[in-house]
């Protein structure tokens, strides 16, 4: 008997590398129970069978549970045994389990039960008895289930019975792109995203649509439901009562989830709850939101498409016209009217244009974009249609809907070479991280623009120039373009407000952080309402992070993320997520940081915005590296740094991430290589400004440990002066411990103590837990090398506790090595003539892992000559002649 997912594709590469490994681990152990869950069509059945048959030496017994056999005792066990169900009529679970044991015998066996959510309870009890009372039996049980199906009590029992419970999630956009390519249907990114949203990433539905739909190159292609889904929806709708069917049709005709009152009034239902319950039970509608403001929508986009096909365009238009009279919000009413209008309607187009202007003035770019798109379709004036289309794309970019904007780019690239057209193309290039393309388009836009004749377009070009300068890290240029925008149209114009929301960052990047904070305070007082508050809040939070006010930064950045609260843009939310992750990281809340990264990466994937992904990847990679998972850190960097990186906002995080990974493995030469290019950037770059990018202390530390003391001195002196002049406390504290490291390298104990202790005292007043731990670690290591072993032991023990609290396991291990090398708790009198010193023991441990002398020297922060000296003494003491013999001896002793 075969399961319902035989035609489903195999799991994706990501899932194969993680879930398949988990399944194979259980097989390697020879016994255990795995519960693999995933939606229908996710490929779980095929994956389980692939794994079960991957070892030819194992016997495989298969069964599939079905819903109508839930009350048939031992229906699944009978399938596994290959006997009629009647043969088990008198068995109890213990007897049925023994039957399985007898069949299995001594041969390793895999039991596969598909759709186990429908398993009869007698079979479940027998399988549970087999696992608990026959532990010596060489059997692995692989179960596949659909979440939410079957009895809820059984679902809980299945989870508790399983040793491992992996879940197959939906396909990501990248995975769908690979799937499309493998099927010979390569699709552009924007269409891949539409396909992902429409199918909710279900592999079976993706493949079905790739086979069933033609004309994928149409920009406004309407995706239908896969035939399988359409048939199922048709059957369920046919089984509804009249009122429930009317409710389902009405819900599908709304563009987004609607309130119960709106649905009831549109459908003319006196009692909406009973038909709602019937439709929800059939899986055709679902409720969203909280108890106070619930809304109802189709179960998923494919159900909506299938229902609309049943309704037909004529009836759908009538429902939408009635709905337009019911809804209160003008933009929703006009969107419904536009959807109900198949041809041109000049009056409605003009009304939509007026609405878009109001929404754009408030910064509500998503509403403005969709109004402009409909207006461009409905107008009968060709030149006006082109302008509306360009403005719609511009608004989509402003809302952060880059994929939707990209779908329309071919249409506007063929239009006349105008200022607004080039402004839009430049704006899109910024968010895609394409510096040169953005520069060309914005330069051309300014050349074609006449500010005196069209100040509005000129102001928007200025605003894009501001964003471009911010991403380039050029504060002076940013301020100049922001001031030009304000001079052209006044400070209350939307373009000016957006430019002013970034101007404070430019002021700070020009070396005037106190003045920048004042600008944001004044702007926040002047702009108190509307989506543009989100821009100001995000900028203010970013600036607080720069000046070291971590608590204020976290509060503001958190409030700048939700677009529902402020009505803002996904683009701004993405920036806020990136900087919030950094703030959480510095504060030591690494789980929160990873959560902010995950939220940001989801937004980036769904929107197509690439400019911020390296910032997000930096934080995630650094945390994974510090937690002792360098492979995952490297994978994050690969996934978040594709494409061009010539914007400073993209290139710098990647370099800092590389430096962080190198530092975690004590490769200080690699740290210097990663960060040295940053020293060549000019005074106008944010890279040289205190607080913008935390790299100077890392660079000085690496220079000192690599022996470049004079270079470290010159670099440090310059940046200490700048940090002091700008009164950036966090930066001064970081540079102070780097100064301590420099003094220690010169043997200046008193000066080193003073520098380290001033740094730690300053950091103790801040929320910078990561920096505080780093300062203690550097201090303790320096004291040990200066011969102050007891003092070093105290400081390093403190550092170890701090790193342990953070979860920085790689640094906990380094602290342990430093403490052992110090040997404070190992009395010399207790050692025999041939015993190893603490430092020698540390060398043995590191050499035995395959490290070279240079790597060991870097880890222990001594010279390679010192390592060789220790090795010579070690060979004599332990009676070996080579590194290979030493490693073998060390491993034998450990065992």
pLDDT at 125 over 80: yes
SS3 31: coil
pLDDT at 565 over 50: no
pLDDT at 827: 42
Higher pLDDT among residues 682 and 437, named by residue = 437
Average pLDDT over residues 523-548: 90
pLDDT at 222: 86
DSSP β-bridge partners for residue 123: none
Query: What CA–CA distance (Å, rounded) separates 464 from 611?
Result: 14
Task: Work out the percent of the chain whose per-residue pLDDT is above 70.
Answer: 93
Higher pLDDT among residues 790 and 235, named by residue = 235
Count other Cβ atoms within 10 Å, centred on residue 223. Answer: 17
Q: Which CATH architecture has domain 13-168?
A: 3-Layer(aba) Sandwich (3.40)
Angle, vertex CA 841, rays to CA 836 and CA 843, nearest 5: 125
Q: Residue 529 gets which letter from DSSP?
A: S
pLDDT in tens, 682-739: 777 899 999 999 999 999 999 999 999 999 999 999 999 999 999 999 999 999 999 9
Q: Residue ranges of the domains in the chain?
A: 13-168, 173-223, 228-339, 830-894
Q: What DSSP letter does each residue of 721-759 carry, written as one string? A: HHHHHTT-HHHHHHHHHHHHHHHHHTT-HHHHHHHHHHH
To the question of domain 228-339 being in CATH 1.10.10.10, the answer is yes
From 133-147, 525-539, 548-562, 848-862, the region with the lowest mean pLDDT: 848-862
Nearest to 115 by CA among 145, 156, 141: 145
CA distances in angstroms from 525 to 22, 482, 518, 528, 882, listed in the order given: 55, 19, 11, 6, 73
Contacts of 175 (CB under 8 A, 6+ apart): 12, 13, 14, 201
Average pLDDT over residues 97-118: 89
Residue 653 — φ and ψ, nearest 5°?
A: -55, -35
pLDDT at 278 over 70: yes
Nearest to 104 by CA among 125, 64, 143, 134: 134
Calculate the CA dihedral of residues 61, 65, 69, 75 and round it to 10 degrees: 20
Average pLDDT over residues 468-489: 96
Nearest to 535 by CA among 562, 498, 493, 574: 498
The answer to whether the CB of 531 falls within 8 A of the CB of 518 is no
SS3 667: coil
Q: For residue 11, give both structure tokens.
A: 């799991």
pLDDT in tens, 200-246: 888 889 889 998 988 787 767 789 999 999 999 999 999 999 999 99
Q: For residue 215, give both structure tokens.
A: 């004309």
The answer to whether the CB of 661 falls within 8 A of the CB of 632 is no
Please indicate whether the domains covering 13-168 and 228-339 agree at the CATH topology level. Answer: no
The answer to whether the CB of 722 falls within 8 A of the CB of 755 is no
Residue 60 — φ and ψ, nearest 5°?
A: -125, 125
Confidence of residue 248 (pLDDT cuts 50, 70, 90): very high
To the question of domain 830-894 being in CATH 1.10.10.10, the answer is yes
SS3 163: coil
Strands 32-38 and 167-168: parallel
Task: Work out the percent of the chain whose per-residue pLDDT is above 90.
Answer: 48
Nearest to 818 by CA among 786, 860, 756: 860
For tokens 């071919």, what's the residue? 410
pLDDT at 435: 93
pLDDT at 4 over 60: no
Nearest to 742 by CA among 720, 763, 767, 761: 720
| Helix (H), strand (E), coil (C) string for 276-345 | HHHHHHCCCEEEECCCCCCEEEECCHHHHHHHHHHHCHHHHHHHHHHHHHHCCCHHHHHHHHHHCCCCCC
Q: For residue 733, give both structure tokens.
A: 């504290």
Higher pLDDT among residues 267 and 141, named by residue = 267
The answer to whether the CB of 479 falls within 8 A of the CB of 507 is yes
SS3 585: helix
Higher pLDDT among residues 73 and 49, named by residue = 73
pLDDT at 645: 58
Q: For residue 575, give both structure tokens.
A: 């920036």
Higher pLDDT among residues 405 and 866, named by residue = 405
Is residue 226 left, alpha or beta, with left meaning phi > 0 and alpha meaning psi from -120 to 50? beta
Nearest to 790 by CA among 800, 780, 798: 780
The answer to whether the CB of 284 falls within 8 A of the CB of 237 is yes
Residue 83 — φ and ψ, nearest 5°?
A: -125, 160
pLDDT in tens, 801-838: 899 889 898 999 899 888 888 777 554 444 444 577 77
CA distances in angstroms from 503 to 518, 575, 609, listed in the order given: 11, 16, 22
CA distances in angstroms from 812 to 588, 609, 808, listed in the order given: 15, 37, 6
pLDDT in tens, 391-429: 999 888 888 888 888 888 888 888 888 999 999 999 999
CA distances in angstroms from 482 to 293, 449, 460, 469, 497, listed in the order given: 41, 17, 10, 10, 9
> What is the average pLDDT value for the chain, to the nearest integer?
87
Average pLDDT over residues 495-509: 94
Contacts of 680 (CB under 8 A, 6+ apart): none
pLDDT at 290: 56
Query: What CA–CA distance (Å, rounded) separates 603 from 573?
Result: 8
Query: What CA–CA distance (Å, rounded) separates 894 from 793?
Result: 25
pLDDT in tens, 603-629: 888 888 889 999 999 999 999 999 988
pLDDT at 868: 77
From 41-45, 231-235, 766-770, 878-882, the region with the lowest mean pLDDT: 878-882
Q: What's the chain's length in residues?
A: 895
pLDDT at 3 over 50: no
Query: What CA–CA distance (Å, rounded) separates 215 from 233?
Result: 24
pLDDT in tens, 664-676: 988 999 999 999 9
pLDDT at 832: 45
The answer to whether the CB of 795 falls within 8 A of the CB of 752 is no
pLDDT in tens, 632-653: 899 898 888 765 557 999 999 9
pLDDT in tens, 346-364: 999 999 999 998 888 777 8
Q: What DSSP letter does each residue of 785-847 carry, written as one string? A: HTT-HHHHHHHHHHHHHHHHHHT-HHHHHHHHHHHHHHTTTS-GGGS-TTPPPHHHHHHHHHH
pLDDT at 644: 56
């Amino acid at each position: 008997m075969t399961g319902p997912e035989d035609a489903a594709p195999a799991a994706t590469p990501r899932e194969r590398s993680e879930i398949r490994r988990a399944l194979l681990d259980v097989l390697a152990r020879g016994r255990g129970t795995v519960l693999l869950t995933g939606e229908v069509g996710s490929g779980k059945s095929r994956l389980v069978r692939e794994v079960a048959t991957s070892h030819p030496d194992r016997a495989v017994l298969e069964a599939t549970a079905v819903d109508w056999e839930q009350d048939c005792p031992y229906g699944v066990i009978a399938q596994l045994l290959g006997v009629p169900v009647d043969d088990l009529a008198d068995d109890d679970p213990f007897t049925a389990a023994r039957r399985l044991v007898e069949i299995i015998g001594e041969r390793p066996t895999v039991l596969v039960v598909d759709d186990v959510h429908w398993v009869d309870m007698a079979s479940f009890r027998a399988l549970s008895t087999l696992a608990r009372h026959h532990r010596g039996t060489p059997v692995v049980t692989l179960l596949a289930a659909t979440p939410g199906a079957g009895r809820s009590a059984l679902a809980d029992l299945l989870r508790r019975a399983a040793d491992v419970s992996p879940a197959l999630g939906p396909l990501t956009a990248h995975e769908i792109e690979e799937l499309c390519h493998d099927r010979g249907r390569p699709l552009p990114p924007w269409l891949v995203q539409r396909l992902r949203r429409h199918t909710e990433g279900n592999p079976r539905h993706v493949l079905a649509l790739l086979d069933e739909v033609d004309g994928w190159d149409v920009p406004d292609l309407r995706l239908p439901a896969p035939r399988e889904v359409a048939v199922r929806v048709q059957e369920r709708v046919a089984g509804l009562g009249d009122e429930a069917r009317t409710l389902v049709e009405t819900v599908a005709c709304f563009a987004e989830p609607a309130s119960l009152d709106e649905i009831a009034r549109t459908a003319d239902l006196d009692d909406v709850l009973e038909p709602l319950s019937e439709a929800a039970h059939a899986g055709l509608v679902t409720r969203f939101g909280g108890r106070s403001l619930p809304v109802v929508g189709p179960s998923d986009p494919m159900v909506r498409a299938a229902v609309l096909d049943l309704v037909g365009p004529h009836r759908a238009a009538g429902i939408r016209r009635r709905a337009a009279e019911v809804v209160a919000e003008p933009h929703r009413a006009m969107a419904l009217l536009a959807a109900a209008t198949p041809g041109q309607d000049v009056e409605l187009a003009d009304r939509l244009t007026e609405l878009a202007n109001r929404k754009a003035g408030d910064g509500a770019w998503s509403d403005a974009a969709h109004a402009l798109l409909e207006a461009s379709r409905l107008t009968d004036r060709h030149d006006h249609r082109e302008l509306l289309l360009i403005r719609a794309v511009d608004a989509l970019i402003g809302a952060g809907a880059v994929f939707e904007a990209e779908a329309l780019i071919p249409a506007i690239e063929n239009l006349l070479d105008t200022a607004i057209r080039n402004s839009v193309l430049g704006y899109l290039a910024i968010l895609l991280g394409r510096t040169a393309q953005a520069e060309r388009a914005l330069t051309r836009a300014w050349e074609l623009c006449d500010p005196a004749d069209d100040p509005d377009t000129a102001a928007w070009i200025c605003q894009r120039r501001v964003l471009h300068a911010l991403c380039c890290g050029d504060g002076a240029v940013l301020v100049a373009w922001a001031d030009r925008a304000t001079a052209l149209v006044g400070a209350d114009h939307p373009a000016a407000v957006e430019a002013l929301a970034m101007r404070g960052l430019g002021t700070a990047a020009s070396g005037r952080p106190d003045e920048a904070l004042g600008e944001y305070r004044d702007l926040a007082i002047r702009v108190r309402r509307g989506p543009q508050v989100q821009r100001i809040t995000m900028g203010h939070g970013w600036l607080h992070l720069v000046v070291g006010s971590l608590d204020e930064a976290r509060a503001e950045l958190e409030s700048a993320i939700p677009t529902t609260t402020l009505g803002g843009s996904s683009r701004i939310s993405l920036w806020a997520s990136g900087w919030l992750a950094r703030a959480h990281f510095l504060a030591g809340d690494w789980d929160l940081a990873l959560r902010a990264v995950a939220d940001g990466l989801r937004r980036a994937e769904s929107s197509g915005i690439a400019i911020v992904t390296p910032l997000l990847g930096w934080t995630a990679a650094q945390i994974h590296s510090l937690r002792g998972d360098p492979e995952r850190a490297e994978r994050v960097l690969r996934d978040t740094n594709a494409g061009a990186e010539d914007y400073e906002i993209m290139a710098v995080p990647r370099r800092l991430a590389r430096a962080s990974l190198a530092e975690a493995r004590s490769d200080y030469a690699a740290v210097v290589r990663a960060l040295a290019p940053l020293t060549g950037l000019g005074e106008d770059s944010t890279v040289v400004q205190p607080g913008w990018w935390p790299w100077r202390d890392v660079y000085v530390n690496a220079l000192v440990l690599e022996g470049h003391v004079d270079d470290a001195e010159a670099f440090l002196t310059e940046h200490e002066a700048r940090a002091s002049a700008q009164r950036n406390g966090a930066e001064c504290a970081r540079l102070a411990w780097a100064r301590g490291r420099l003094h220690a390298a010169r043997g200046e104990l008193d000066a080193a103590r003073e520098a380290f202790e001033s740094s730690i005292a300053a950091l103790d007043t801040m929320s910078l837990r990561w920096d505080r731990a780093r300062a203690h670690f550097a201090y303790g290591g320096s004291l040990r090398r200066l011969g102050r072993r007891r003092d070093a032991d105290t400081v390093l023990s403190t550092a170890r506790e701090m790193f342990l609290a953070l979860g920085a396991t790689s640094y906990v291990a380094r602290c342990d090595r430093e403490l052992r090398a110090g040997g404070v708790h190992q009395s010399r009198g207790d050692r025999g003539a041939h015993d190893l010193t603490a430092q020698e023991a540390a060398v043995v441990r590191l050499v035995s892992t395959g490290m070279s002398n240079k790597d060991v020297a870097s880890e222990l922060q001594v010279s390679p000559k010192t390592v060789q000296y220790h090795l010579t003494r070690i060979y004599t003491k332990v009676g070996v002649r080579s590194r290979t013999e030493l490693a073998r001896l060390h491993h034998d002793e450990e065992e």
